[in-house]
Amino acid sequence: MERINWISDIIVVVSPENIETMKTIIEKYGHKRVTVVKGGITRHRSIFNGLKVFAEDEFSCHLLQKPEVVIIHDAVRPFVEEDIVSKVVMAAKEHGAAGAIRPLVSTVIASAADGCLDHSLERARYRASEMPQAFLFDIIYEAYQQCTDYDLDYGTECLHLALKYCKTNAKLVEGTADLWKVTYKRDLYAAESIIKDNLSQQVCVITNVKETLGQVGFLLPESLKSQIKVEAISISLSKNDSRLQNIISEQCYNFVCINDKRCAIQETQELVDMLEKSNIPLLYPVVLILVHLDSSENNSFSIGMEDLTTIKKFARETKKKNILVYGLLIQHKDPLLLQETVNSAAALIMALIKDRSPELIGQLLVA
């Protein structure tokens, strides 16, 4: 929610034993506008504690300004987009309450006391209630104040409380497929895959090579364009380039540096410093691929053991900053095989970007 700048305050409700851990995370990642509140033993009691921050002194060191609208969301739905948040907020302003819904994917049935089928619901008439939900603050706070202990201990639906105690019929807003919950262990793998896919949508290709090798610097971005959005710039990393700064500020998480020098670690360090200063690597790992062009006629590599050791050491240091550095050698010897070699290099680059494997950092791959 912090990435949505029109949200003024973010209340994170956490179980008592995890409060210090949450505060450490907030400090580590530089989150602002965040207040940590001790949760209750049930969902509704935790939400009520969060709402009290705006109304009761005992739940915060200082009262936060009461909002017109409050958004309630589950941390287990990490992929919510700003568009659906905005829609439920606007609907709540008009109707007093609103919530995201999705079609049911399975039929809901009720079992009898003997374990046999009692009845089933007509799936087309029902929807799955999702998050986020939004309410006029006065409505949802009043509803929670009137709740019985049974509501607080066994209830799960906030929209129902607004209807039951404040006669507020919530507007139901059709949600998107990314509102699913991370509930089981298998969902963690799906969530990781989604994050990696989201981070693999754009790459910045930085070229700093001699004119004689410029063809590779042109062909490689062109080969990548069929698989990923490419921002290609030709600069020296030792210069503070505004285009590169803009690309970083637009949350690019993948960089390819093409160089014909034996080991351009010093220049690459300039990019690492820029990335670290931008705080981009705080949340997600940045992939940085050092592409070396080898045009020597002999069969030996132009990169020696000393260079390989330097790259590995550099990669280990940058990994501490959540920047994953890989090496890629493109052997530019036979002009007839150049396009095939470039396509092979592009395939390796895409594999590194999509997999983001920390185990491969500092390794030199050969195309």
What average pLDDT does the segment 37-51 reach? 96
pLDDT of residue 335: 72
pLDDT of residue 146: 97
Residue 298 pLDDT > 70: no
> Amino acid identity of 47?
I
Measured distance CA(205)–CA(212) in Å, rounded = 18
Between 63-67, 72-76, 129-133, the lowest mean confidence (pLDDT) is in: 63-67
Pairing relationship of beta strands 323-331 and 364-366 according to DSSP bridges: parallel
Residue 215 pLDDT > 60: yes
Return the domain boundaries, the chain: 10-99+129-180, 194-366
Helices and strands, number each (H, E), in the chain: 12, 14
- Confidence band, pLDDT 50/70/90 cuts, at residue 68: very high
Query: How does pLDDT run across 134-163, given as a tens digit for each residue?
Result: 999 999 999 999 999 999 999 999 999 999
The highest-level CATH class for domain 194-366 is: alpha beta
pLDDT of residue 2: 67
Residue 211 pLDDT > 70: no
| 60 or 40: which leads in pLDDT | 40
pLDDT of residue 365: 92
Contact 164, 157 (CB under 8 A): no
Tokens of 214: 């410029």
* Residue listed under structure tokens 């029109």: 6
* Residue listed under structure tokens 């105690």: 165
DSSP strand E in 88-155: where?
97-103, 109-111, 117-120, 127-136
Measured distance CA(269)–CA(266) in Å, rounded = 5
| 111 or 262: which leads in pLDDT | 111
The burial class, CB within 10 Å (0-12 / 13-18 / 19+), for 102 is middle
What average pLDDT does the segment 238-261 reach? 84
Tokens of 228: 């990923």
Spatial neighbors of 355 by CB under 8 A, at least 6 apart, are 196
- Confidence band, pLDDT 50/70/90 cuts, at residue 208: confident
pLDDT of residue 148: 96
Between 32-36, 130-134, 143-147, the lowest mean confidence (pLDDT) is in: 32-36
- Confidence band, pLDDT 50/70/90 cuts, at residue 7: very high
| 278 or 286: which leads in pLDDT | 286
The candidate with the shortest Cα–Cα distance to 71, out of 158, 161, 168, is 158
pLDDT of residue 59: 57
Residue 299 pLDDT > 70: no
* Residue listed under structure tokens 């670690």: 265
Average pLDDT, the chain: 89
pLDDT of residue 262: 59
Tokens of 142: 């009043």
Q: What are the Cα distances from residue 197, in Å, to 161, 353, 355?
A: 38, 9, 9
* Residue listed under structure tokens 């983001």: 356
* Residue listed under structure tokens 């992929």: 79
pLDDT of residue 261: 66
The highest-level CATH class for domain 10-99+129-180 is: alpha beta
Backbone φ/ψ region at 261: left (φ over 0), alpha (ψ -120 to 50), beta:
beta
Residue 132, classed as helix, strand or coil, is strand
* Residue listed under structure tokens 């046999």: 116
pLDDT > 90 in the chain, percent: 68
Measured distance CA(290)–CA(276) in Å, rounded = 17
* Residue listed under structure tokens 């009691």: 45
Measured distance CA(34)–CA(67) in Å, rounded = 15
Between 97-101, 168-172, 266-270, the lowest mean confidence (pLDDT) is in: 266-270
Contact 67, 137 (CB under 8 A): yes
Contact 77, 130 (CB under 8 A): yes
- Confidence band, pLDDT 50/70/90 cuts, at residue 307: confident
